[in-house]
Structure 1
Amino acid sequence: MRQSSGEQPPYPSESVRDVRLLPKAHLHLHFTGSMRPSTLIELADKYGVHLPEALSGGEPPRLRATDERGWFRFQRLYDIARSCLRSPDDIRRLVREAAEEDVRDGSGWLEIQVDPTSYAPRLGGLIPALEIILDAVESASRETGLGMRVLVAANRMKHPLDARTLARLAVRYADRGVVGFGLSNDERRGLARDFDRAFEIAREGGLLAAPHGGELSGPSSVRDCLDDLHAGRVGHGVRAAEDPRLLRKLAERGVTCEVCPSSNVALGVYEKPADVPLRTLYEAGVPIALGADDPLLFGSRLAAQYELAREHHGFTDAELAELARQSVRGSAAPPDVREKLLADIDHWLTP
């Protein structure tokens, strides 16, 4: 396995295929966290928002969220960035630029995750906020050619009744581009089963259940996502690698784990990229969809996660292609989009 200095290798390489040209689906990207750093700086200047050095210094902030103080700092930076999104034009710009970045990284399908309650106060309320977001997604998809949908996520730091309200709203807009329902924020707080009714509402409405689990908390949080919330996908899920029985359960059920290697290292879940248990999950037969999580804070986007798998875990081009296939199969993309992406992945491998 080649050793990495931490910098991305030059493109294209003579010995390996360019991962930016590998067709793939992106299933774990948070809304504000998808913002370009340059856009954040421009919006902050526009609205007179003071950005701390961690957000304006040109380098990803140093974060370690494995303790309460570290998570609070991460959340505070995220909240400051979100406060710079104040108008429908800001929302449209963020979504269009996120789509452009994904297209540049070879994504053919993006499911962007958002809690619309976070934007409602500045956008006229909860329903207007979601409609503005969905309109922006539809426009960006049309302009860039990227298949794009929305996963509405509840905040586990809030009351479960709020999650039920969001689940009903998500179901109401299933025909406008909402494909799934999630649960985000610090998984160490509260119990997954407190949100079981919200996920039942979402599933009954035909939405995919995709809660976060198995990042800051151990294998039990992944098990709770499966048993209490009947997850079809798990956001992160990497800590399942610590429990062989749980790995078998994920593999047997075909539950995709949305693994975000750069995020795991940035938040201190693992010390270095080679410690992320990508190989363990992959060889156990657990479907994986690599994701960028919050590029604004972690400094790397989708293609970089595939490069990390290559550089630090020895994934061959054939194995990278299989990771891309798993991302497509785990998505909510319609059959024709899946078929085209899978065919294009095979073409990427053709000499």
Structure 2
Amino acid sequence: MEARSGSAPRDLAALPKAHLHLHFTGSMRHSTLVELAAERGVHLPDALVEDWPPHLQATDERGWFRFQRLYDIARSVLQTPGDLRRLLRETAEDEAAEGSGWLEIQVDPSGYAARFGGLTPTVELVLDAAREAEAATGVGIGVVIAANRTRHPLDAKTLARLAVRYTDQGVVGFGLSNDERRGRAYDFEGAFRIAHRGGLLAVPHGGELLGPQSIRECLETLEAERIGHGVRAIEDRRLLDKIVDRGVTLEVCPSSNVGLGVARTAADVPVRDLFEAGARLALGADDPLLFGSRLVRQYELARADHGFTDEELAELARQSIGGSAAPEAVRKRLFDEIDGWLARPQAGADA
């Protein structure tokens, strides 16, 4: 079956996929942010209203501080349990509309604990909200508890122990986020050892604002099974070969990389080079609230800027599912649905 010249490509929102790199507050709809801010009396800067999405550049300390400040302002509108439940329900609705059959959403409960009664009640609230959102939308949801690089490693151990307690209630992984320049991965080895023993996936950020050495620490010291971003592995072929050999999945977020100044344009994000080197990739939106685009847009960029065919895009979707913690039944269903997506003719194709 050959497509006619100029035939419409297959709908990427209909391509079944998993979303593995999405932060909790950063998943909020912009309209919800504006509405909740008005209700709660929270003043939003122009960058989150008239000038949204904000113009960001976080490759220096000042730029990262501005990014973090906007994120903290956005988080401040989430003031009641109902707000958190709404955020997760709307996020799951958006994921369903974009073809996600499985979502792993990352949250640092420390950022919400003071408002919601402590770390444990916060985690239990998020997990309960995730179950509600899952039931309402049909999107499977796993929660990744993330430690903050800018806090003490002992805080990370506390979070790792907490995460392990809820592995049977929806916590699937343990992460490490925030500015790589302010917290080396090896400082958090103890926390990740706890997470590994508890059966959680190790999913730290690395290779975004710093180069290959940051990724190497995640790989060797934290025994990462996925790496958030990891795009700068392309600068070290031996490291990239090790990532390929170990089957580590890189959570590549093109719009985020451009938004934070890691890459000049989406075409400069090495999606094609990583893919052709044999690395397993899971495209992610990171923080749609601050970068202005969700998951389908990342697949559109792979198609438009890197020349990915529908067969290759389907393989990216398979790799996202393969790198996830989704139950086997969910994996099988999504793999079958990807085959079905490919089997459908393109619009305008000859029968």
Return the TM-score normalized by structure 1. 0.96
Amino acid at match of 2:146: A
1:108 aligns with 2:101: yes
The separation in 2 between residues aligned to 1:227 and 1:253, in whole angstroms, is 11
- 2:281 matched to which residue of 1? 288
Point out the more displaced range, 184-193 or 322-331: 184-193
* Residues paired across the two proteins, number: 339
The separation in 2 between residues aligned to 1:163 and 1:14, in whole angstroms, is 51
The separation in 2 between residues aligned to 1:85 and 1:121, in whole angstroms, is 12
The separation in 1 between residues aligned to 2:212 and 2:151, in whole angstroms, is 23
1:15 aligns with 2:11: no
The separation in 1 between residues aligned to 2:162 and 2:205, in whole angstroms, is 20
Alignment of structure 1 residues 1-351 onto 2, 5 Å:
14-57=7-50, 59-350=52-343, 351=345
Amino acid at match of 2:79: R
Amino acid at match of 1:69: R
Return the TM-score normalized by structure 2. 0.96
* Cα shift at 1:58: 5.7
* Cα shift at 1:82: 0.4
* Cα shift at 1:84: 0.6
* Cα shift at 1:290: 0.2
Deviations along 1:306-348, one digit per CA (max 9) or x if unpaired, are 0000000000000000000000000000111001101100110
Tell me how large the CA RMSD over aligned residues is: 0.8
Deviations along 1:194-225, one digit per CA (max 9) or x if unpaired, are 10000000010000000000000001111110
Amino acid at match of 1:65: A
The separation in 1 between residues aligned to 2:293 and 2:183, in whole angstroms, is 30
Q: Rate the CA distance shift 1:58–1:38 in 2: closer, same or farther, 3 A.
A: farther
Amino acid at match of 1:278: V
Percent of aligned pairs sharing the same letter: 68
* Cα shift at 1:46: 1.1
* Cα shift at 1:158: 0.1
Amino acid at match of 2:168: D
The separation in 1 between residues aligned to 2:43 and 2:112, in whole angstroms, is 19
The separation in 1 between residues aligned to 2:253 and 2:292, in whole angstroms, is 12
Asked if structure 1 preserves the Cα contact closer than 8 Å seen for 2:16 and 2:338, the reply is yes
Structure 2 gap ranges (5+): 1-5, 346-351
Please give the secondary structure, in 2, of the residue aligned with 1:209. Answer: strand
Amino acid at match of 2:68: Q
Asked if structure 1 preserves the Cα contact closer than 8 Å seen for 2:46 and 2:52, the reply is no
The separation in 2 between residues aligned to 1:265 and 1:76, in whole angstroms, is 19
User: Post-superposition, which runs of at least 4 consecutive aligned residues in structure 1 deviate over 2 A?
Assistant: none
Please give the secondary structure, in 2, of the residue aligned with 1:216. Answer: coil
